[in-house]
Amino acid sequence: MDVKFQIFISSTYHDLIEERESAIAAILKIGHIPIGMEMFKAEDVDSWEVIKRTIESADYYIVIIGHKYGSIAKNGKSFTEMEYDYAVKLGIPALAFIIDGSAIRKASQMEESEDNRQKLKKFKKKLEKKNRDTWEDKSELSYKLVSSLTSQFNINPRPGWIRRERSYSDSIDELTRLSKENSELRERILLLEELSKSEIRKPLLKVSFSEDLSFSIKIPKKRIRIEKPIEDVSSYAEKNQNQMYNRKLSSQEQYNRYNDEIYPSKYVELNAKSLKISLSNIGNIKATLIDVEVKLPNEIAIFSSLASISRDGRLNEPDDCIDVYENQEMRPIDVKGLSQRSHWYSDWKLSANNTLKLSLDVLIHTKSNQANIVLLPLAKGSFEIEIKCLCNEYHEPVIETIPVMITG
């Protein structure tokens, strides 16, 4: 018999739009009917009655869980959890697909509320007691969804929808055909189960730094004069001697000029951090046609090496005693005055907008591409480094952020 099953899809919405679309497409592809509740407003009291009637008409129920708990009803539960509880209460076969903890997600797809994070954690524990699986991306989700549903069609058969003109005609031939289909389907289920046990093959690009990205700015100290010109004299000989002594002393203007000129170099010496940046492929197949962008905040300058942070000319250091220091305020650093920052001898290149870029034809799995860099903090505050990775095997760029704290 040509049976069509109605399958209710439950999830949060805005953070899982692409995953929902992928699930709907997968269900349609195997010839069944997906139903969802995108058209209902979470705050509409009447909509809950409609949702319940729709669940009642479903043959199977699936719930897709990301990193958000979802819209909250007046009873304190999310509508997603209420839908799941109602489906279980009715005895509808329910399947849960929970995002893997290692999956890369955007900040906007994460739960912000601590209260909701705790509720989501409890909801996931509830789901672990039933039929459930994990997923990392929409492709893996579609594959596991079809596999699990196909298994449920045999383990927990449901009435479904049957074309009226074919419901009871040619019963013997239909039963014979159905028996043959069941045998073939069982073989397919065994094959799918074996495939689901095998590892999903894909590259996984990861940008990392060899050092902790936290800075504590240290302000250079300036040198001051401790030898003062001699003014009081008692004889002509002493006067002549003292004048010769005074001429050897550096002037206050020389000290001021020296302190102004030496400040950037001393600032770099105290605050520049040398480290390595790496792109690794921690997946299980090679990645091809790779493009990586690492956008640093303007408050952090990037150099290829400490040797590249140089200033033209030589500084005239005062000759007399300059061993006494005193604190001074932080001054703005002219990055262009330190270095041209154009001599990069690795695959990583510094481009406009303070962005490091890397383009590779191929990166074998378990391998990495490294480069030495120097980071120089220029201002205090909390910032983010944005990392964007794209390769031929990805459907879209993978974006993540790394927090940076600069204190002083």
**Helix, strand and coil in the chain, % to nearest 5:** 35, 25, 35
* pLDDT value at 109 more than 50: yes
Task: Band the pLDDT of 44: cuts 50, 70, 90.
Answer: very low
Percent with pLDDT over 90 in the chain: 23
Rounded to an integer, what distance in angstroms lies between the CA atom of residue 202 and that of residue 284?
A: 6
CATH of domain 205-407: 2.60.40.10
> pLDDT of 20-39, one tens digit each?
989 999 999 998 999 886 55
Amino acid at 193: E
Task: Write out 154-186 in H/E/C secondary structure.
Answer: HHCCCCCEECHHHCCCCHHHHHHHHHHHHHHHH
Q: Please name the residue that has the structure tokens 């009081």.
A: 232
Handedness of CA 241, 245, 246, 247 (dihedral sign): positive
**pLDDT of the residue at 94:** 93
How is residue 289 written in tokens? Answer: 């046609």
pTM listed for this prediction: 0.47
Calculate mean pLDDT across residues 74-83. 90
**pLDDT of the residue at 257:** 76
* pLDDT value at 344 more than 60: yes
2 or 87, higher pLDDT: 87
How is residue 37 written in tokens? Answer: 């509740």
Q: Which range among 29-43, 141-155, 211-225 shows the weakest confidence by mean pLDDT? A: 29-43
**pLDDT of the residue at 40:** 54
**pLDDT of the residue at 58:** 93
DSSP state string for 64-97: EE-B----B-TTSSBHHHHHHHHHHHTT--EEEE
Q: Which CATH superfamily is domain 3-197 in?
A: Toll/interleukin-1 receptor homology (TIR) domain (3.40.50.10140)
**pLDDT of the residue at 395:** 86
Rounded to an integer, what distance in angstroms lies between the CA atom of residue 174 and that of residue 303?
A: 74
> pLDDT of 287-297, one tens digit each?
999 999 999 99
* pLDDT value at 168 more than 60: no
> pLDDT of 377-399, one tens digit each?
988 899 999 999 999 988 889 99
Which DSSP state fits 249?
S
> pLDDT of 263-291, one tens digit each?
888 888 888 898 999 999 988 889 999 99
**pLDDT of the residue at 43:** 45
Report the SS3 class of residue 257.
helix
CA-nearest of 143, 141, 134 to 30 is: 143
Same topology between domain 3-197 and domain 205-407: no
Calculate mean pLDDT across residues 176-191. 63
Mean pLDDT for all residues in the chain: 80
Enumerate the domain spans of the chain: 3-197, 205-407
Q: Which range among 37-46, 119-128, 358-367 shows the weakest confidence by mean pLDDT? A: 37-46
CA-nearest of 368, 312, 302 to 335 is: 302
Q: Which range among 58-72, 192-206, 304-318, 325-339 shows the weakest confidence by mean pLDDT? A: 304-318
> pLDDT of 297-338, one tens digit each?
999 988 888 776 755 444 555 555 454 555 667 777 777 766
Rounded to an integer, what distance in angstroms lies between the CA atom of residue 73 and that of residue 42?
A: 7
Rounded to an integer, what distance in angstroms lies between the CA atom of residue 391 and that of residue 276?
A: 22
* pLDDT value at 246 more than 70: no
